[in-house]
């Protein structure tokens, strides 16, 4: 068998993949570096932007919180003022007034968009109208707040009109919520607003005082008249004349009563009986009869003339009503129904408060109510009052102290200027005395060569100055300490408390915490004023400087006198010092009529001295 030859095969691989991968990796690395740099710059910009936004947010938040608490403080003060006003108009005082305040806050919490301050405004009106019961005050305030929110009846004027109307008809404010429901229902279904209806109703109520009409009957008649664009004065005048004619006809009978019978299709007896039971129903029947005359082609004006009801105002008020007599019956019926159901006002209020604006008001109101409730609880309001009254009562002292501080700083500036002048003079003297200057330089060089010695020397000097100032504190030491900066002020403060410690303790014992705090405040102020007085006293003694510094000195002294920390010059001049008492004795001269004892005068002879022990605490 033939052998198979071996054939060598050599494979050479050409690597075309690695270079591509390397280039890709290089490109990716380059892109990564480029993108990373840009991302980093972008991140820095974002960070800076957010820092700016953060600062702006902090500023905005700070301003917002400040405004919120400022509004809260205003709400507290307004609430307190309003509650005091309620007390004045209603006669409610003490714990009952405080309880009414909490009831007002609770009512405000239950009503959307109604603040406690607004309720107190209406409560004051209630008091002015003679309402004194807390229950009636709250009901009146609640109803008026709802009406103001839901209708065009606004503020004190509307509240006064309603209160007077209810007083005229003899209903009071016990059913004011029903009255409000009737008024709102009529306003929602008529060509007249609630305020327009109320304006006419006030005139009609005065015109019908003697005829016992209810408030909802008056509202029905008034709505019909205003829907026909009858002016309030004309409406009141026309209604009064008609009711007066009806009454006189039923009392006197005769021709007018027979004419009424023709118009209303009733017998004279029926008219009398009906008017005695319900004057409003007879009035409505009369208007309907006039309307029937017009519909049948007759003249309502002529029918009125036969009754003696002629004139422009009657014609303007009654004729339109007669022609549209169905409106009168409709409005009276609607008013009676809404009054009985007593739901229209609440429903209108609920709709009117479903707004974003009401939500914003509610947020502020809730915050203010929390602060006000907290302030009204316990004695926080009284404590705040005492602080504010203390500031106002002592405003003169505060201004004096502030002025004294300003004068002290001006004086310090003057001292610095004088020191600078002295410094320049010393420099000039140094140039004139070079030999001494060289010696001084050598001495300074020696000191600088050993800075520890300089420090020790300065400390020793400072200790010596402080010790000397404390020793001479009442003469000029306090002013010297004032020049030492914070250390000196601290020592002055300590000395002031040491001098006045008994006064502070007695103030706490006799006047309580407020009195003690006042005493501490006076002590702190005196720690500032006493050094100023010493300094100004020294400056005023300099020849030629008295006129410059004496006014400031008098000002500081009067400030200390007003604080009670210094006796007035008049008191001081009349004070007998203990030193004088100690150095004097009393010599008694004895005159004996029998001649047994010689008369003695002076304390140098044979007489005897009686020494008096001081009673002011010294021996």
Find out whether 518 and 548 touch, Cβ atoms under 8 Å.
no
Q: Per-residue pLDDT averaged across 349-357, rounded?
A: 88
The pLDDT score that the predictor gives to residue 613 is 44
Task: Inform me whether the pLDDT recorded for 90 exceeds 80.
Answer: yes
3-state DSSP of 148-197: HHHCCCCHHHHHHHHHHHHHHCCCCCCCHHHHHHHHHHHHHCCCCCHHHH
On whether residue 567 sits in a domain, the answer given is yes
Residues 472 and 586 in one domain: no
pLDDT at 403: 59
Q: What pLDDT is attached to residue 576?
A: 43
Q: How confident is the model at residue 426 (pLDDT cuts 50, 70, 90)?
A: very low
Backbone angles phi, psi at 408, to 5 degrees: -65, -45
Phi, psi of 609 (to 5 degrees): -100, 140
DSSP state string for 367-410: HHHHHHHHHHSTTHHHHHHHHHHHHHHTHHHHHHHHHHHHHHHH
- As a whole number, mean pLDDT of residues 95-108 equals 90
Same domain? For 414 and 512 the reply is yes
pLDDT of 248 reads: 92
Q: Is residue 286 part of a domain?
A: yes
The dihedrals phi and psi of 592, each to the nearest 5 degrees, come to -105, 120
- Given a cut of 60, is residue 429 above it in pLDDT? no
Helix (H, G, I), strand (E, B) or coil at 527: helix
Range of weakest confidence among 161-170, 228-237, 319-328, 413-422? 413-422
- Establish if 428 belongs to a structural domain: yes
CA distance 615 to 505: 24
Mean pLDDT of all residues belonging to the chain: 75
Same domain for 339 and 403: no
Output the pLDDT for position 325.
87
Q: In angstroms, rounded to a whole number, what is the distance separating the alpha carbons of residues 392 and 185?
A: 53
Specify whether 276 is located in the same domain as 325: yes
- Answer with the residue of higher pLDDT: 55 or 124: 124
The answer to whether position 143 is within a domain reads: yes
Which DSSP string corresponds to 111-151? STT--HHHHHHHHHHHHHTT---HHHHHHHHHHHHHHHHHS
Task: Indicate whether 287 pLDDT > 50.
Answer: yes
331's tokens: 């409005």
Q: For residue 462, is it left (φ>0), alpha (ψ between -120 and 50) or beta?
A: alpha
Q: Is residue 461 part of a domain?
A: yes
Write down the pTM of the prediction.
Answer: 0.53
The residue range of the domain holding 615 is: 576-619
pLDDT at 451: 52
Residue 93 in domain = no
**pLDDT at residue 28, as a whole number:** 62
Q: 10-14, 335-339, 522-526: lowest mean pLDDT where? A: 10-14
- How many angstroms separate the CA atoms of 274 and 290, rounded? 18
The answer to whether position 385 is within a domain reads no
CA distance 43 to 48: 9
Q: Residue 330: is it exposed, middle or buried by C-beta count within 10 angstroms (0-12/13-18/19+)?
A: middle
Q: Are residues 558 and 433 in the same domain?
A: yes
Cα 387 from Cα 381, distance rounded (Å): 10
Distance CA 365, CA 78 (A): 13
Q: CB–CB of 189/334 below 8 Å?
A: yes
Q: How many CA atoms lie within 13 A of 473 on its CB side?
A: 15
Assess whether 558 and 600 both reside in one domain: no
From the list 531, 467, 461, the residue with the least C-alpha distance to 493 is 531
Claim to verify: residue 236 and residue 294 sit in the same structural domain: yes
Residue 390 has pLDDT above 80, yes or no: no
Radius of gyration of the chain (CA): 49
Which residue in this structure is represented by tokens 């009442």? 474
**Which residue blocks in 189-231 are alpha helix, DSSP H?**
194-207, 215-227
Lowest mean pLDDT among 437-446, 470-479, 512-521: 437-446
How confident is the model at residue 419, as a pLDDT?
Answer: 45
- Strand 586-587 and strand 609-610: pairing? antiparallel
Q: Same domain, yes or no, for 422 and 278? A: no
Strands (E), 505-608: 586-587
- pLDDT of residue 201 exceeding 90: yes
- Do 559 and 587 sit in the same domain of this protein? no
Flag whether 475 is in a domain.
yes
Q: Please give the pLDDT value at position 612.
A: 43
Residue 179 has pLDDT above 90, yes or no: yes
> Do 569 and 593 belong together in one domain?
no
Residues 441 and 404 placed together within one structural domain of the fold:
yes
Burial class (CB in 10 A: 0-12, 13-18, 19+), 473: buried
Q: Where is the domain boundary, 365, 381, 413?
A: 365
- Is residue 25 scored above 90 in pLDDT? no
Q: Is pLDDT above 80 for 10? A: no
Domains in the chain: how many in total? 3
Helix, strand or coil for residue 199? helix
Looking at the structure, tell me whether residues 337 and 199 fall in a common domain.
Answer: yes
């Amino acid at each position: 068998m033939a052998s198979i030859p071996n054939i060598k095969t050599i494979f050479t691989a050409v690597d075309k993949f690695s270079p591509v991968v390397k280039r890709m990796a290089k490109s990716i690395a380059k892109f990564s570096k480029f993108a990373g740099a840009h991302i980093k710059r972008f991140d820095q910009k974002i960070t800076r932007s957010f820092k700016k936004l953060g600062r702006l947010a902090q500023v905005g938040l700070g301003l917002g919180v400040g405004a919120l608490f400022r509004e809260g403080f205003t709400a507290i003060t307004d609430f307190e003022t309003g509650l005091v006003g309620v007390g004045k108009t209603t006669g409610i005082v003490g714990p009952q007034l405080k309880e009414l305040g909490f009831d007002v806050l609770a009512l405000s919490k239950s009503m959307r968009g109604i603040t406690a301050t607004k309720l107190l405004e209406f409560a004051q009106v209630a008091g002015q109208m003679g309402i004194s019961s807390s229950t009636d005050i709250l009901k009146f305030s609640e109803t008026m707040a709802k009406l103001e929110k839901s209708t065009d009846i606004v503020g004190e004027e509307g509240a006064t009109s309603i209160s007077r109307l209810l007083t005229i008809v003899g209903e009071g404010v016990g059913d004011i919520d029903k009255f409000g429901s009737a008024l709102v229902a009529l306003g929602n279904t008529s060509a007249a607003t609630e305020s327009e209806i109320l304006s006419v109703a006030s005139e009609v109520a005065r015109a019908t005082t003697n005829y016992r009409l209810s408030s909802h009957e008056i509202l029905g008649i008034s709505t019909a008249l205003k829907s026909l664009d009858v002016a309030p004065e004309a409406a009141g005048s026309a209604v009064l004349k008609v009711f007066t004619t009806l009454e006189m006809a039923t009392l006197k009978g005769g021709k007018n009563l027979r004419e009424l019978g023709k118009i209303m299709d009733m017998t004279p007896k029926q008219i009398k009986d009906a008017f005695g039971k319900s004057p409003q129903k007879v009035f409505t029947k009369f208007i309907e009869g006039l309307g029937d005359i017009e519909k049948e082609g007759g003249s309502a004006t002529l029918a009125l003339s036969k009754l003696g009801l002629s004139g422009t105002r009657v014609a303007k008020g009654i004729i339109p009503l007669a022609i549209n007599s169905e409106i009168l019956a409709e409005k009276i019926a609607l008013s009676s129904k809404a009054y009985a159901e007593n739901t229209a006002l609440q429903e209108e209020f609920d709709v009117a408060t479903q707004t974003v604006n009401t939500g914003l008001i509610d947020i502020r109101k809730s915050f203010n109510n929390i602060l006000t409730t907290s302030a009204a609880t316990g004695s926080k309001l009284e404590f705040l009052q005492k602080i504010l009254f203390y500031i106002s009562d002592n405003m003169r002292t505060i201004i004096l102290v502030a002025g004294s501080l300003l004068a002290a700083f001006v004086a310090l500036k003057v001292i610095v200027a004088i020191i600078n002048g002295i410094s320049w003079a010393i420099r000039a003297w140094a140039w004139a005395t070079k030999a001494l200057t060289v010696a001084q330089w050598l001495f300074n060089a020696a000191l600088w060569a050993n800075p520890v010695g300089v420090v020790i020397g300065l400390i020793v000097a400072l200790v010596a100055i402080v010790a000397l100032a404390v020793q001479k504190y009442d003469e000029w030491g306090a002013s010297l300490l004032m020049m030492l900066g914070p250390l000196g002020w601290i020592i002055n403060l300590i000395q002031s408390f040491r001098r006045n410690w008994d006064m502070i303790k007695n103030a706490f014992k006799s006047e309580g915490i407020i009195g003690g705090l006042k005493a501490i405040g006076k002590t702190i102020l005196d720690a500032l004023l006493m050094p100023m007085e010493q300094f100004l006293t020294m400056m005023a003694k300099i020849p030629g400087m008295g006129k410059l510094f004496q006014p400031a000195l008098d000002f500081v002294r009067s400030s200390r006198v007003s604080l009670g920390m210094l006796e007035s010059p008049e008191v001081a001049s009349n004070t007998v010092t203990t030193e004088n008492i100690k150095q004097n004795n009393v010599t008694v001269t004895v005159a004996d009529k029998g001649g047994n004892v010689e008369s003695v005068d002076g304390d140098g002879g044979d007489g005897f001295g009686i020494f008096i022990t001081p009673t002011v605490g010294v021996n």
